[in-house]
Amino acid sequence: MRRLTVMHPVPVEVPPALAHQSTLREANLGVVLRSVCAAEEPLSRAGVAAGTGLTRSTVSRLVDELVAGGLVEEGTALLAGPGRPATPLLPSSRVCAVGLQVNAAHVAARLLDLRGRVVAESRSEPDLVGSEPAAGLALLADHLAEVLEAVPTGGRVLGAGLALPGVVDAAGERLLHAPNLGWRDLDPGPDLRALLDGIPLGLANEANLAAHAFAEPAPGRRGRSGHFVYVSGEIGIGGAVVTDWRVQTGLHGFAGEIGHMPFRPGGDPCPCGSDGCLERYAGRLAMTRRAGLPPGTTLAELGRLADGGHAAAAEAIDLAADALGVVLAGVVNLLDVPTVVLGGEIGDLADRITPRVTELLRARVMAAAFMPLEVVRDADDVPGATGGALLHLSRVVAGPAGFLTV
């Protein structure tokens, strides 16, 4: 296999961003904060200077601003080796955001800080398929209240991000349709906003947020891959596309519906109005029905049954793997994203489906000979919640200027 270096013959257009002088400072504040956030081991001012190319004097001034603004904390000096001991810099543990997630099997709230640490978590696993929204949202509110208790004294909660398994409006304010919950045209805010007390709440598609979290597992820190397709396999199949560490949201924010890409056009009709959609072969509902099992069967159970010799279960899983492999090969052909991430419940079948999916990718991707192809599992079990919190925390790293406390 030949590996090719990254260089794009088609130029990337620079956004026509007018630059005032303050733009310069804001950009460099971002560079410094990103550097502090991205470091595995805490950096000193001098370390940031060495890493970014800015001079120590400039870094010093910018760091002072970030410290004064409450985004960076100075640790106690480390004593090691000759010279003046360095002052370690850490993203503030007082800057937090809340991630929320509701899907058919999980309700969860997470509090993350700017270091990307999970400060608190509260969750439950009810069955919300075809449920009334009120019950699920009340449960979510309980979890939210619990994690809000854990906000450190003097801490700031920048926002809350709610991951939902469906189509969210472009403003991130309403859930338009979550077919697998049976929820439609809904403002999930009222129950939550009272608790949030002015803290902004943003809604987004679960898979998009999960993919964001996979691409950027902590604010300013890059994940193992920046070009991947994320498959969120629950009752249905959601997805997201990440290129160059950016989640592709599309023009209206509807991108990522990989579950409704065609696998067998003309095949199983799908409630979406189409037929033969991937979801009709690789979604939990489709798989359990094919295996002749009750719809509440989890994919983990399905996998165990298949391992135990349940032929129909094994067949259903194999068909799902075929469907995923074919569709994902198409996606890789279209977008040259060499990594496939399996997240959500379908991750529980990773051992069974990864080999077949990998095989199909290698066989069906045109440029397979020129690129590595890998299928990996997302280890986070509530990645939507993580992504919901990162939704707000990442904004801080992207542009710290607007988040400095006066």
User: Site residues for DNA, window 67-126 (CB under 7 A)?
Assistant: 77, 79, 81-87
Looking at residues 159 to 188 of the shown chain, list those that interact with its own copies (rule: CB under 8 A).
167-172, 176
148, 192, 218, 247: residue in contact with its own copies (rule CB under 8 A): 247
Q: Which stretch binds its own copies (CB under 8 A): 47-55, 65-73, 94-102, 348-356?
A: 47-55
Which tokens hold the place of 218?
């902590």
> 196: Cβ–Cβ under 8 A, 6 or more apart, which residues?
98, 144, 157, 160
Q: Cβ of residue 339: shortest distance to its own copies, in angstroms? A: 9
Q: Which stretch binds its own copies (CB under 8 A): 87-95, 285-293, 342-350, 391-399?
A: 391-399
Rounded Cα distance between 213 and 108, Å, is 15
Q: Cβ of residue 220: shortest distance to DNA, in angstroms? A: 18
Give the total of residues touching its own copies (CB under 8 A): 91
Rounded Cα distance between 227 and 152, Å, is 35
| Alpha helices (H) in 251-382, listed in sequence order | 279-282, 284-290, 299-307, 311-335, 350-364
* CB 43 within 8 Å of CB 51: yes
Binding mask 48-77 for its own copies (x = CB under 8 A): ----xxx-----------------------
Looking at residues 42 to 71 of the shown chain, list those that interact with DNA (rule: CB under 7 A).
44-47, 53-58, 60-64
81, 273, 294, 308: residue in contact with its own copies (rule CB under 8 A): 273
Looking at residues 346 to 375 of the shown chain, list those that interact with DNA (rule: CB under 7 A).
none
Rg, C-alpha atoms of the chain: 23
Find, among 99, 178, 36, the residue nearest to 380 by Cα.
99
Find, among 165, 66, 72, 158, the residue nearest to 112 by Cα.
158
Quick one: 87 or 225, whose CB is closer to DNA?
87
* CB 340 within 8 Å of CB 328: yes
39, 89, 241, 306: residue in contact with its own copies (rule CB under 8 A): 241
Q: Is 309 in the site for its own copies (CB under 8 A)?
A: no
Q: Is 28 in the site for DNA (CB under 7 A)?
A: yes
Rounded Cα distance between 65 and 71, Å, is 9
Q: Is 394 in the site for its own copies (CB under 8 A)?
A: yes
